[in-house]
A and B are shown apart, each in its own frame.
Chain A
């Protein structure tokens, strides 16, 4: 008994130290910056904040970001499901290679990712001359931003689904097929319901990154104000031009988006734990 007591007591002290350390780290690294952003954003009052985020350039940046996200997230959801399906449910040559390729965007620095697209589609790139001849502008334009964001956010959905689908195996699908279901019926009635929470989680993460991506987009966008600056780029531009309050106002908007994402993510996690 005595020994047990001393174990619990010492572990109580350890727990307390660990908890305090965790709180300190979270506080300084995450909470404090968030408070600083909010403080700086509303320093000169709500009116100034509102003016900053409704400035034509800011509005255009918001719309551009939303537009890019609206294209990238559905596409990467489709790609992610297809890739995860292939990797999880089939054994084929080159499977491991495909698995590593999925991780490539995580491994490569976003700036390099942006540069890759410049090298392919830019003026001096592989397809540069041909694209100029036909008057198609990819780099320093909307298509370039979409491409770069697609690349960077590709792994989120696939990475979330691969372990889930591997663990679930394909027996339920085989059972559905043996009962006479078609391939599409099997997908919509069996596969999709089984992965829905994992999928939603992947989509949320993909969405958060698509809105916040800076490095890759910065390389391909060309920073044309009111045209090719996304919200994160707009923050940078404002900051570099010493419009601190406006910069922080836009940053607070992004922080708000992040918080909303976090809340949805937590709800999804809770629901998915209830499910299984």
Chain B
């Protein structure tokens, strides 16, 4: 079931949460809505679910597989919604929680008691919690609760599955585990899924497709690798990982670093990822930016070198252990940085790669 979002805007009082959003989510995909808090990602998810209404004057619409569902209230949209804080029914057992959606169906559509029981145990097996059917939510761990919430949403066989920061309230280890599990689950059941996250790593790891949002607008849509390798805007590049910002100018259709020679037309910013900088002990040919080593951090397999350039600006470089062993550097040493690749974003919104 594909989801189409057309011209959707949403205002809360005077705050524009969403501005003219257009998006198509492919059937059977697992798509991440990625952005900082306040970027409108949760609002968009809630609008798709029907928990929030579209601004009427905007004329925005939501379609599931081509048919408009904009006028349908949440209980007629057949969506599965998973809340950040699980929202399990606290007075019901795990079994009753999962069975809820099946039990509230109108008598004609309702399954028999036996069939409901079978279906619930099928789901309990899927989330590997069969032995906890009679527990209450307060007796479960965070990860278990989130899995029950997921099973509850899946019980009614929703057209689309919507997850609002599903792992946001869990600790790091459980989060990684559940992430992998969600990916595996999606590969098994193929329900069109849309999940909200502010964690770029999570989006890159789990999703088929990433929608990067900022200030109520979509910045970029693409496959994880595409979004990471070819960020469409400076915001996307900065949000998807650490970057070093250098000032530069455009010369012969190329971004030129002006770290040394100030002045001139410095209207562009060159963004370089920490792993795209090489450290040399002597200036080579081409671009090499002088800098002084500030400190060296060895974090597991990676070596992070922090440097200061002539303007006392902090530059981060990431190199492997082997590279570090070949050219070891220490604090206060004068070195030269060679950018392997950089991206230019400036006032003219040009996008050059060198």
Task: Give chain B residues whose Cβ lies under 8 Å from the Cβ of A190.
Answer: 89
In the assembly, what is the distance between CA of A236 and CA of B77, in Å? 62
Residue of B nearest to A194 (CB): B91
Q: Which of B83, B91, B138 contacts A175 (CB 8 A)?
A: B83
Query: Given that A181-B104, A185-B104 are known contacts, is A176 also in contact with B89, CB under 8 Å in the complex?
Result: yes
Query: Given that A171-B85, A189-B104 are known contacts, is A179 also in contact with B91, CB under 8 Å in the complex?
Result: no
- A179 B100 Cβ-Cβ under 8 A: yes
Task: Give chain A residues whose Cβ lies under 8 Å from the Cβ of B51.
Answer: 174, 177-178
Q: How far is the CB of B196 from chain A (nearest CB, A)?
A: 15
Q: Please tell me if B293 contacts chain A, counting CB pairs below 8 Å.
A: no
Q: Which of B77, B78, B81, B100 contacts A174 (CB 8 A)?
A: B81
Interface centre among A177, A181, A189, A194 (most CB of B within 10 A): A177
Residue of A nearest to B85 (CB): A171
Q: How far is the CB of A60 from chain B (nearest CB, A)?
A: 44
- B156 A180 Cβ-Cβ under 8 A: yes
Q: How far is the CB of B98 from chain A (nearest CB, A)?
A: 10
Task: Give chain A residues whose Cβ lies under 8 Å from the Cβ of B152.
Answer: 175, 179
In the assembly, what is the distance between CA of A177 and CA of B91, in Å? 17
Tell me whether chain A's interface is mostly helix, strand or loop, or mixed.
Answer: helix
- B89 A175 Cβ-Cβ under 8 A: yes
Task: Give chain A residues whose Cβ lies under 8 Å from the Cβ of B81.
Answer: 174-175, 178
> What are 21 inter-chain pairs, A to B, with CB distance below 8 A?
A172-B88, A172-B90, A175-B83, A175-B87, A175-B88, A175-B89, A177-B51, A177-B74, A178-B77, A179-B100, A179-B101, A179-B152, A179-B156, A180-B104, A180-B156, A181-B100, A181-B104, A185-B104, A189-B104, A194-B91, A276-B90
Residue of B nearest to A275 (CB): B91
Q: How far is the CB of A92 from chain B (nearest CB, A)?
A: 12
Q: Please tell me if A94 contacts chain B, counting CB pairs below 8 Å.
A: no
- A179 B104 Cβ-Cβ under 8 A: yes
Interface centre among B51, B77, B87 (most CB of A within 10 A): B87
Q: Please tell me if B105 contacts chain A, counting CB pairs below 8 Å.
A: yes
Where the two chains meet, the residues of B that have a C-beta atom closer than 8 Å to any C-beta of A are 49-51, 73-81, 83, 85, 87-91, 100-101, 104-105, 138, 149, 152-153, 155-156
Q: How far is the CB of B43 from chain A (nearest CB, A)?
A: 14
Q: Please tell me if A135 contacts chain B, counting CB pairs below 8 Å.
A: no
- B78 A180 Cβ-Cβ under 8 A: yes
Residue of A nearest to B74 (CB): A177
Q: How far is the CB of A199 from chain B (nearest CB, A)?
A: 13
Q: How far is the CB of B45 from chain A (nearest CB, A)?
A: 12
Task: Give chain A residues whose Cβ lies under 8 Å from the Cβ of B155.
Answer: 179
- A180 B87 Cβ-Cβ under 8 A: no
Task: Give chain B residues whose Cβ lies under 8 Å from the Cβ of A194.
Answer: 90-91
Interface centre among A175, A176, A189, A190 (most CB of B within 10 A): A175
Q: How far is the CB of A161 from chain B (nearest CB, A)?
A: 16
- A172 B104 Cβ-Cβ under 8 A: no
- A179 B90 Cβ-Cβ under 8 A: no
Add 7 more A-B contacts to A181-B101, A189-B104, A276-B138 (CB < 8 A). Answer: A175-B81, A177-B51, A178-B77, A178-B80, A185-B104, A189-B100, A275-B91
Query: Given that A174-B81, A185-B104, A189-B104 are known contacts, is A180 also in contact with B75, CB under 8 Å in the complex?
Result: yes
Q: How far is the CB of B223 from chain A (nearest CB, A)?
A: 29
Q: Which of A171, A185, A193 contacts B83 (CB 8 A)?
A: A171
Query: Given that A171-B85, A185-B104 are known contacts, is A178 also in contact with B91, CB under 8 Å in the complex?
Result: no
Residue of A nearest to B103 (CB): A189
In the assembly, what is the distance between CA of A171 and CA of B90, in Å? 11
- B101 A172 Cβ-Cβ under 8 A: no
Q: How far is the CB of B33 from chain A (nearest CB, A)?
A: 17
- A177 B83 Cβ-Cβ under 8 A: no
Task: Give chain A residues whose Cβ lies under 8 Å from the Cβ of B89.
Answer: 172, 175-176, 190
Q: Please tell me if A28 contacts chain B, counting CB pairs below 8 Å.
A: no
